[in-house]
Amino acid sequence: MSMVETNHKLWEIVGRVKDPEVPVLTVLDLGVVRNIEQSEEGIIVTITPTYTGCPAMDLIGNNIRKVLNQEGYENVKIKLVLSPAWTTDWLSEEGKKKLQSYGIAPPVGSTTDKRVLLGEFDEVTCPYCHSQNTKMISQFGSTACKSLFKCNDCLEPFDYFKCH
């Protein structure tokens, strides 16, 4: 196989790893895999954390190593880089659709949108009934990346993947 083909295959393999907290998303949907390179010492996968304290990051690194090992790639190194800092803008469009159907409202707009950063989340859509008449209950939800919302129409509580 040529280098390009091999690299394509590596991305495909790494793309099988799911986010342990939001298992509908792959690590590629999430945008945490920054680079995959092959060197003489083996494969280096560069990942970036979503939130600094996110306990899923260690697991994601281990799972990437495991899946590559299973495919016969022995020496795998996981490199963690912080810069540029991860943003929800890196969530793929596909990923946003998956979140919505899983019952988690995807982040609204871009993180550069100041209104979102200031917490004026008035356009968050309920993932169940699609009403925009929703209310934030708590900025901090079940995991570091989510806020807790409630729909004023269907009354269901739901998670919102917050802009970051």
Partner 1 sequence: MKNQSLFDYLLHLGDNSLILGHRLSEWCGHGPILEVDMALTNISLDLIGQTRNYFQYAAEIEGKGRSEDELAFLRVDRQYKNVLLVERPNGNFAETIARQFYFDSFHKPFLEKLQASQDEQIAAIAAKSLKEVTYHLRFSTDWVVRLGDGTEESREKMQDAVEEFWTYTADLFKATDLEREMVKEGIAVDVEQMKVPFMEHVEDTFARANLKLPDFEPMQVGGKEGLHSEHLGHLLAELQYMQRAYPNMQW
Q: What character string, x for contact with partner 1 (CB under 8 A) and - otherwise, covers 28-57?
A: ---------------------x-xxxxx--
Give every CB contact of residue 9 below 8 A, 6+ residues apart in sequence. Answer: 1
Total residues contacting partner 1 by CB under 8 A comes to: 24
What tokens appear for 40 in the block?
């003489």
Task: Give the separation between CA 44 and CA 22, rounded to whole angstroms.
Answer: 25
Task: Give the separation between CA 86 and CA 95, rounded to whole angstroms.
Answer: 15
Q: Does 83 bind partner 1 (CB under 8 A)?
A: yes
Nearer to partner 1 by Cβ, of 13 and 80: the residue is 80
| Min CB(9)–partner 1 separation in Å | 31
Task: Give the separation between CA 97 and CA 106, rounded to whole angstroms.
Answer: 8
List of residues contacting partner 1 (CB under 8 A): 49, 51-55, 81-86, 117, 119, 137-142, 144, 148, 162, 164
